[in-house]
Amino acid sequence: MKKWMVWIPCLIGCGGSADVRPPAAKNTAVEIVVAKSEDVSRPIKASGTVRAKRAVELSFKGAGVVDRVFVDEGARVKKGQVLARLDATEYQMGASQAKDSFDKAARDFERAKKLEERGAIGRMETEDAKTRFDVARAGLTQAAYNVTRAQIVAPEDGWILRRFVETGEVASPGRPVLQFEGGLRGKVVRVSLVDREAMSLELATACDVRIDARPDLALKGVVSEIGRDVSKVTGLVDVEVKFEGGENMPDGLSAKISCAPRATTALVLPIESLLGENGAHASVFSLDDQNVAHRQEIVTGDARENKVIVKDGLKEGTRIVTRGAAYVHEGEKVQLASLNEAEHAPSDTAVVIR
């Protein structure tokens, strides 16, 4: 009878428990980025309404019966065009009386000068006559002015937005008769922004304008006005963006703007490089000249896409571990997976806000 001997190798260690953890690798392979400055400003976007840059309410200086309104809402008008007129009968009568008073005062003044030359009256009487002449002249000027103000003329080329009165109504001084939009100053989009966004804009900042009713139009504009105070109700700041190509657009259209604020330089890091995040605090592994890793505490800001702004704790030019950071230990010497590519990777660069 043959006997067979079988050798069974002890693969997991005889008499001991199994330990399947791989031995710690020496020189962990990692990828890095080099901290560089870059622009982290973002476009400021908001929704608003289209308005005329200049819209005023026109009225008569004095009271009277409206004789005629020559324009309707939406009418385009030219500078100097008569828009509305009062019944000027009373004003013309007043001007006629003022002319008679002026003529009499002028005659009296001339007579007084001649009498003074002959010694018939004294200097005081002549000066009194001159005073009455000056008062009458001023009254005539005012009466003539009132006649001209019995009508409303267009102050510049533009459009009539609203009409408030009809023929035969009694207009009181200062009561709006027509709402006029000046065409020389163009159209604006009025938006309300939080204070931080408003303060990051400057006059003449370039903006893109989109009209909701005309999405096919790509209009260009600039910031033309920034409010000087914050609304007590909303806490927002009013901003106007003037744009070209909207001269014939009605007021009240919905629009969207996108403006490029002043550049803000900061340090940013890929989010994958962060370790142990706790609110605005996190840590990263930086490398020294010998490729030895050192844990470094940083203060972070806003996150944007796959990056986060670094507000404090990092210097420009520092090499930061990105991919593989979770497997690195303090004081460990690491191996760069692609040193040349990592040191010249502008898209994964870190930045500190200045």
Quick: pLDDT tens for 341-350: 444 444 333 3
pLDDT beyond 50 at 339 = no
Give dist(CA 99, CA 139) in Å, integer: 8
Which tokens hold the place of 62? Answer: 């004095």
Give dist(CA 90, CA 170) in Å, integer: 14
Q: What is the pLDDT of residue 222?
A: 93
Q: What is the pLDDT of residue 16?
A: 42
Give dist(CA 37, CA 350) in Å, integer: 7
Which H or E run contains 288?
none
| DSSP state letters, 126-178 | HHHHHHHHHHHHHHHHHHHHHHHTTEEE-SSSEEEEEE---TTPEEPTT-EEE
Q: What is the pLDDT of residue 26?
A: 53
Domain 29-40+264-348, CATH: 2.40.420.20
Instruction: Please tell me which residue, 136 or 266, carries the higher pLDDT value.
Output: 136
Q: What is the pLDDT of residue 184?
A: 64
Average pLDDT of the segment spanning 243-270:
86
Burial 13-41 (b: 16+ CB within 10 A, else e): eeeeeeeeeeeeeeebebbbbbbbbbebe
Q: What is the pLDDT of residue 338?
A: 53
Which tokens hold the place of 276? Answer: 């142990």
Q: Say if residue 307 is exposed, middle or buried (CB neighbours under 10 Å; 0-12, 13-18, 19+).
A: buried
Quick: pLDDT tens for 113-149: 888 888 888 889 989 999 999 999 999 999 998 888 8
CA distance readout (Å), 315 to 5, 124, 204, 266, 279? 69, 90, 34, 11, 21
- Domain boundaries defined on the chain: 29-40+264-348, 58-179, 184-259
pLDDT beyond 60 at 292 = yes
Instruction: Please tell me which residue, 103 or 42, carries the higher pLDDT value.
Output: 103
Quick: pLDDT tens for 144-193: 988 888 899 998 888 888 899 999 999 898 899 998 887 666 789 999 99
Domain 58-179, CATH: 2.40.50.100
This prediction's pTM: 0.55
**Residue 53 gets which letter from DSSP?**
S
Which CATH fold would you assign to the domain 184-259? Elongation Factor Tu (Ef-tu); domain 3 (2.40.30)
Quick: pLDDT tens for 100-120: 999 999 999 999 988 888 888
Q: Is the dihedral of CA 24, 29, 30, 34 positive or negative?
A: positive
Q: What is the pLDDT of residue 138?
A: 94
Residues 6+ apart with CB under 8 A from 89: none
Q: What is the mean pLDDT of the chain?
A: 82
Q: What is the pLDDT of residue 27?
A: 62
